[in-house]
Amino acid sequence: MSLFDYPFDGAMLLQKKRSLRRELLKKPNLTPKKVAILSGSTIGEIKNILELFLLDYGIAPEFYVGNYGLFYENLVFDDGSLADFKPDILYVHTSRKNLKNMPTTADTAQSAGEKLDAEWARFEAAFNAAKRFGCPVIVNSFDAPTHRVMGNRDAVDARGGVYFINEMNARLTTYVGKNEGFYLNDLAYLATRFGLDNWFSESEWYLYKYAVSMQYIPELCHNIANIIKSLLGKNKKGLVLDLDNTLWGGVIGEVGPEGIELSTETPGGMAYNEFQTYLKQLENMGILLNVASKNEPAAAESGFTRSDSPLKRDDFLCFKANWEPKSQSIAEIAKEINILPESLVFVDDNPAEREIVRQQLPGVAVAGFDGPEKMIAAIDRAGYFEITTLSADDAKRNEMYRQNLARAAEQQSFGSYEDYLKSLEMQGEFGSFTPPHAERITQLINKTNQFNLTTRRYTGPEVEALIEDKSAVTLYGRLADKFGDNGLVSAMIGHVHGDECEIELWIMSCRVFKRQMEHTMMDEFVRRCAAKGVRRIKGRYLPTAKNLLTKEIYGTMGFEKMSESETESVFALQVEQYVPQNTVIAVTAKE
Amino acid sequence: MTEQEIFDSVQEIFRTVFDDTDIVLTREMTSADIEDWDSLEQINLLVAIEKRFNIKFQLQDVKDLPDVGAMLDLVKRMVA
């Protein structure tokens, strides 16, 4: 078990940070990222522990640390050093200790209101200034004050500290909601969860100017790291759930569906019922639910026929009820829905089953908890599914994977693969990037690892800038078929220099791989390049641990390999020699 | 808890925090003697010591700790 698995021992992470860092830096395939931390109070240990969590997520941060307490000045009057650093992520570490215009009991209601406006204007100016770096900006909410001079009235009276901070948080969260590229690190929630008296230590503030007590710095950093890994497409995608004593109490093979604990009428049943309800909420956001249970299939499924069961059989994508080792069931599930095992989280009450999965499938996350009442917290607080953006496609994801399983079933009944593809009645829509697509394209770029030739990541503003860029050739592809709409599944970005176009990015969702979508994308890309007078197209393959399947793709499409090394292969295509490849997708070409 | 036990535990904490198993503490040692021992590590050491001995320092106790000896004496006083 890793020291970073939730619930982690924060004190241990703090003490062992040096040896942990040494070990983590040996991990292969770390993604380098530039992280700027701007200071509202002491950063020191926050930087160190954030680095550990990011390394654990496969991200190697290079840090820029702003001057002590000068977040506002660094943002508004940057001396050029921050811009030169070119951050990929900006984190503004502020807290209530940075509120300079707190009202006092000497204020009138009117002057207190003016102070609130002035304070918010200061933060808004700092945040607006942060936009020019064109990277995601993570900002903190404000923790509640440790004392209330008016007692309970502090939350009601405009001169009260609690009132002031509540108002600031309302304005800040509204700002984050309205401004693309801004993300909330909900420090106020963490402070509430751990208790203000624990979260903030007067003596640590007086001695070292830590606005968060040392012992909670790991929790704070875990929260920030979750946002960053989510932005970089490193979220988990699905759950593999045990049934007996995980989704309900008791062994269904022995007591039958009526005998299991699931009713909201009993204390034990309530815990399972609420857990299922929580899972249903995850499913609504596109998290894939699967089952791996040691049971007879009929008995296993019977648990979901109860009218008081929040989850039904149809809520699950893959349902493995057998007597095989669960590591095997999980591996099969990953294969069937075509995602990497490391995108899955395993939930089982049995410590022995967890241990086997940890050993056999080290990439799979294993939820740690003891007792059904702790299951929701174990999943919720680990941040496996930290949501930074929610697109319409997310909500439909379960449905899309379900359609894919139906396609796989249909495939078996056709003589040739091409006949099968034709039977799908596929319709593709292809066009240059437009503003309505930008968010989905950015999301896809940053979470696609397998069909990704260069693994170059783009921020939202960078994608939007391409829309106006005359030298850029951009292409998105949507794919629908008789089973349903897959949505926007592929994107390409190239830049034209003279009569040559270089492909800087090509990604495609793996759920549509081998359906000639990749061929049709290339057909369209070449056509658009030719229209711009391009005579030669260059493509690169930059190997990672995950994108091996695209290694030779240019070679199979008429490109000639110019060079090959461990770090890069370069391919080139003469546009006039290109032969269109698609034979099965009906194409609608947009501008 | 004997003085030796306190010494051993504190030395172990220093070794873990500075990732250096060769550290041998003396009462006269100060932050000048260990390269990475700065004000940030000072608090890390104190938090680890609090946890290890299940004690809670007050501002008065820790705002001025000149050397390792003072640290050991403080722990001894508090666990007594």
Is A209's Cβ below 8 Å from some Cβ in B?
Answer: no
| Number of separate helices (H) and strands (E) present in chain A | 23, 18
Is residue B1 scored above 90 in pLDDT? Answer: no
| A344-347: strand order across its sheet | A319-322, A288-294, A238-241, A344-347, A365-366
Query: Could you give the C-alpha distances from A121 to A11, A125, A368, B5, in angstroms and in order?
Result: 38, 6, 44, 56
Q: Which domains can be identified in chain A, with CATH numbers?
A: 10-231 (3.40.50.1110), 238-380 (3.40.50.1000), 399-589 (3.40.630.30)
Give the pLDDT score at A31.
92
Nearest to A586 by CA among A537, A517, A509: A517
Q: Residue B14 is inside which H or E element, if any? A: helix B3-17
DSSP designation for A414: -
Is residue A368 scored above 80 in pLDDT? Answer: yes
Is residue A474 scored above 90 in pLDDT? Answer: yes
Is residue A141 scored above 90 in pLDDT? Answer: yes
| Mean of per-residue pLDDT scores for chain A | 93
Average pLDDT, integer, range A488-514: 93
A290-328 pLDDT, tens digit per residue, is 999 999 999 999 999 999 999 999 999 999 999 999 999
Give the pLDDT score at A69.
94
With 0-12 CB in 10 A as exposed, 13-18 as middle and 19+ as buried, what is A500? middle
**Cβ pair A429, A489 in contact under 8 A:** no
**Cβ pair A299, A271 in contact under 8 A:** no
**Cβ pair A52, A30 in contact under 8 A:** no
Partners of residue A11 in chain B, C-beta under 8 Å: 47-48, 51
User: In chain A, what percentage of residues exceed pLDDT 70?
Assistant: 99
Residue A405 binned pLDDT confidence (cut-offs 50, 70, 90): confident
Is residue A168 scored above 90 in pLDDT? Answer: yes
Tokens of A113: 């209101």
**Cβ pair A451, A547 in contact under 8 A:** yes
- Smallest Cβ–Cβ distance between B43 and the set A18, A19, A204 belongs to A204
Give the pLDDT score at A153.
97
A192-235 pLDDT, tens digit per residue, is 999 999 999 998 899 889 999 999 999 999 999 999 999 998 99
**Cβ pair A118, A171 in contact under 8 A:** no
Cβ pair B18:A204 closer than 8 A: no
Give the pLDDT score at A1.
67
Site of tokens 């208790």: A195
Residue A332 binned pLDDT confidence (cut-offs 50, 70, 90): very high
Q: Which residue in A has a C-alpha nearest to residue B12's C-alpha?
A: A15
Write down the ipTM of this complex.
0.87
Q: Which residues, other chains included, contact A42 with Cβ-Cβ below 8 Å and sequence gap of 6+?
A: A68, A208, A209, A210, A211, B40
Cβ pair B58:A203 closer than 8 A: yes
A561-578 pLDDT, tens digit per residue, is 999 998 999 999 999 999
Using DSSP bridges, classify how beta strands A137-140 and A569-574 pair: parallel, antiparallel or unpaired.
Answer: unpaired
Tokens of A226: 């979750």
Partners of residue B57 in chain A, C-beta under 8 Å: 203
- Separation of alpha carbons A354 and A348, rounded Å: 7
Alpha-carbon torsion (A265, A269, A272, A276), positive or negative: negative
Partners of residue A45 in chain B, C-beta under 8 Å: 40, 43-44
Of A140-154, A300-314, A434-448, give the lowest mean pLDDT range. A434-448
Residue A468 binned pLDDT confidence (cut-offs 50, 70, 90): very high
- Smallest Cβ–Cβ distance between B59 and the set A44, A203, A214 belongs to A203
Shortest alpha-carbon distance between residue A28 and chain B (Å) = 22
Cβ pair B43:A214 closer than 8 A: yes
Residue B15 binned pLDDT confidence (cut-offs 50, 70, 90): very high
The residues pairing with A536 across neighbouring beta strands, listed in sequence order, are A500, A574
Tokens of A247: 């989704």
Residues 19..78 of A with a Cβ closer than 8 Å to B: which? Answer: 19, 22, 42, 44-45
- Separation of alpha carbons A50 and A56, rounded Å: 10
| A536-541: strand order across its sheet | A560-564, A569-574, A536-541, A500-508, A484-497, A472-481, A427-431, A586-589
Burial A7-34, CB ≥16 within 10 A → b, else e: ebebbebbbbbbebeeebeeeeebbebe
- Separation of alpha carbons A165 and A160, rounded Å: 9
Is A198's Cβ below 8 Å from some Cβ in B?
Answer: no
Q: Residue A468 is inside which H or E element, if any? A: helix A460-468
Cβ pair A208:B39 closer than 8 A: yes
Alpha-carbon torsion (A241, A245, A248, A251), positive or negative: positive
Shortest alpha-carbon distance between residue A104 and chain B (Å) = 27
Nearest to A82 by CA among B68, A564, A92, A489: A92
Is A204's Cβ below 8 Å from some Cβ in B?
Answer: yes
A507-536 pLDDT, tens digit per residue, is 998 878 888 999 999 999 999 999 999 999
Q: Which domains can be identified in chain B, with CATH numbers?
A: 3-79 (1.10.1200.10)
Helix intervals (H) in A500-589: 517-531
Shortest alpha-carbon distance between residue A216 and chain B (Å) = 11
- When computed from its CA atoms, the radius of gyration of chain A, rounded to whole angstroms, is 26
Of A197-201, A227-231, A395-399, A444-448, give the lowest mean pLDDT range. A395-399
A240-297 pLDDT, tens digit per residue, is 999 999 999 999 999 999 999 999 888 889 999 999 999 999 999 999 999 999 999 9
Of A161-165, A571-575, B58-62, give the lowest mean pLDDT range. B58-62
- Separation of alpha carbons A149 and A572, rounded Å: 72
Residue A341 binned pLDDT confidence (cut-offs 50, 70, 90): very high
